Amino acid sequence: MSSLVTALEKAGLREYPILEGKIKTVVAALDTFKAFLFECKAVGFSLCADLMGVDYLEYTEFMPERFAVIYNLLNAKNGERILVKVYVPDAIKIPTVTDIWRTAEYHEREVYDLLGIEFSDHPDMRKILTPEDLDGHPLRKDFPLGETPTLFREGRFLDPSAFRAGLSGKDTGLSGWRGGSRIDSSLIPKLPTAIPVSKEK
């Protein structure tokens, strides 16, 4: 507890609210949170255990912004842990923490991939888990689940019902393959059985 207050004082951010619970949570502001995280590392939170994002679009309560990014910091010496929560508006880039903890590199790529929150100055801001040509960010609450076709770039899509029909063998499905030859035999031009031999010589 005391180390957390020291970090807050050092960063000059004493007004940050601390939510008491099983794990203490600090709600930080978007423009100053990085300075606070830097001080957190200085007072002993040497390990950034986790970094995750939440989409509050359909939450039953009013939230300050649409997204939140939660930093899960751990003191490797005594197991003390704090959560730092930053609310992020839609389509706003937030500063990366890869220069404080290198482990944030994969975490930030995951948050970008699944929630679409971009991190500025990240060394390698690419998707990490989903296919490269998948359109959209799956963990956003407005990303459809179930019977909606999954969109890929360049107009390709995956239709769930057609996919399932293909698996059950009732329909041709996506590939049109139902076991056996992939080619429809009626479409193959028939070869003449006997080659006519020209008699003119």
Binding interface with other proteins (CB under 8 A): 22-23, 25, 46-50, 52, 54-55, 58-61, 70, 72, 74, 76, 78-79, 81, 83, 101-107, 110, 114, 127-131, 138-139, 143, 145
Residue 66: CB minimum distance to other proteins, A:
13
149 with 134: CB under 8 angstroms? no
Q: DSSP for 77-128?
A: TT--EEEEEEEE-TT--EE--TTT-TTHHHHHHHHHHHH---EET-TT----
H and E: helices and strands count for the chain = 4, 9
Smaller CB separation from other proteins, 27 or 30: 27
Residue 51: CB minimum distance to other proteins, A:
9
Spatial distance between the Cα atoms of 177 and 180, rounded to a whole number of angstroms: 8
DSSP 21: S
Smaller CB separation from other proteins, 16 or 106: 106
- Name the burial class of residue 4, with classes exposed (0-12), middle (13-18) and buried (19+) by CB atoms within 10 angstroms of its CB: buried
Residue 56: CB minimum distance to other proteins, A:
9
Smaller CB separation from other proteins, 64 or 169: 64
Smaller CB separation from other proteins, 2 or 186: 2
Residue 186: CB minimum distance to other proteins, A:
36
Smaller CB separation from other proteins, 128 or 171: 128
Residue 110: CB minimum distance to other proteins, A:
8
